[in-house]
Amino acid sequence: LDDIPSDVLPAIIGLGEGRYAVLTDLDRDMELAVLTAPADRSGHQVSMEQLRREFTGEVYYLRPMQ
């Protein structure tokens, strides 16, 4: 997570047990991340500490279509 630059977000990240979420924002000063779950499309904040425990290391960067 610490290697993901904020300016390349959003990105899909692996959370283990076959779960994925869209990482839409990182606030490194507040140690918070904003995730959107595919099932409900609503964003929610999680602590970076919690996210580090669940993060598998999988990152898929998204690019807007033009």
Residue 24: inside a domain, yes or no? yes
- CATH code for the domain in which residue 49 is found: 3.90.70.10
Tell me the β-bridge partners of 27. Answer: 32
pLDDT tens-digit profile of 32-56?
999 998 777 788 999 999 999 999 9
What's the CA gap between 20 and 14, in Å, rounded? 5
**Burial state string for 20-49 with b = 16 or more CB within 10 A and e = fewer than 16:** bbbbeebeeeeebbbbbeeeeeeeeeeebe
For 49, the domain range is: 6-61
pLDDT over 80 (residue 65): no
Residue 33: inside a domain, yes or no? yes
Confidence of residue 62 (pLDDT cuts 50, 70, 90): confident
Q: Count structural domains, the chain.
A: 1
Residue 1: inside a domain, yes or no? no
Residue 27: inside a domain, yes or no? yes
Q: Tell me, what DSSP letter sits at residue 31?
A: T
